[in-house]
Amino acid sequence: SQQGEEDPQALSIQEGENATMNCSYKTSINNLQWYRQNSGRGLVHLILIRSNEREKHSGRLRVTLDTSKKSSSLLITASRAADTASYFCATEGYYGNNRLAFGKGNQVVVIP
């Protein structure tokens, strides 16, 4: 079942602007992860946030997690043309059985 379900969005922003995308899920989780996928290619892991964490940073990425609202957001600051990609959130269930449930994905286009 799909646990991670971000609001399906297509974002088009100018280089240098920030991009924010959201993700919601339905059941208890062990962790939530964000992946990036360039067109027709494999996914690249960006960041993982545990269920007991509220915020995490990695370079230009900032992830928040609100377990009371079962939602997460991914912020990319100072976007670059190379950030153009699809972004998926994925949740691992509470018992961590190596099963990731991916959300619908957000298409981000950064205009140079």
Partner 1 sequence: DTEVTQTPKHLVMGMTNKKSLKCEQHMGHRAMYWYKQKAKKPPELMFVYSYEKLSINESVPSRFSPECPNSSLLNLHLHALQPEDSALYLCASSQVRALNEQFFGPGTRLTVL
Q: Whose Cβ is closer to partner 1: residue 21's or residue 103's? A: 103
CB under 8 A: which stretch of 16-24, 34-42, 57-65, 73-81 binds partner 1? Answer: 34-42
CB under 8 A: which stretch of 15-23, 45-53, 56-64, 75-83 binds partner 1? Answer: 45-53
Residue 84 within binding range of partner 1, rule CB under 8 A: no
DSSP for 43-87 reads EEEEEEEETT-SEEEETTEEEEEETTTTEEEEEE-S--GGG-EEE
Residues 12 to 31: which contact partner 1 by CB under 8 A? 30-31
3-class DSSP state of 38: coil
Tell me how crowded residue 90 is: count the other CB atoms within 10 A of its CB.
Answer: 23
CB of 60 to partner 1, least distance (A): 18
- Using CB under 8 A, pick the residue from 14, 40, 52, 69 that binds partner 1: 40
C-alpha closest to that of 32 among 107, 101, 104: 101
Residue 62 within binding range of partner 1, rule CB under 8 A: no
Q: Name the DSSP letter for residue 17.
A: S
CB of 97 to partner 1, least distance (A): 8
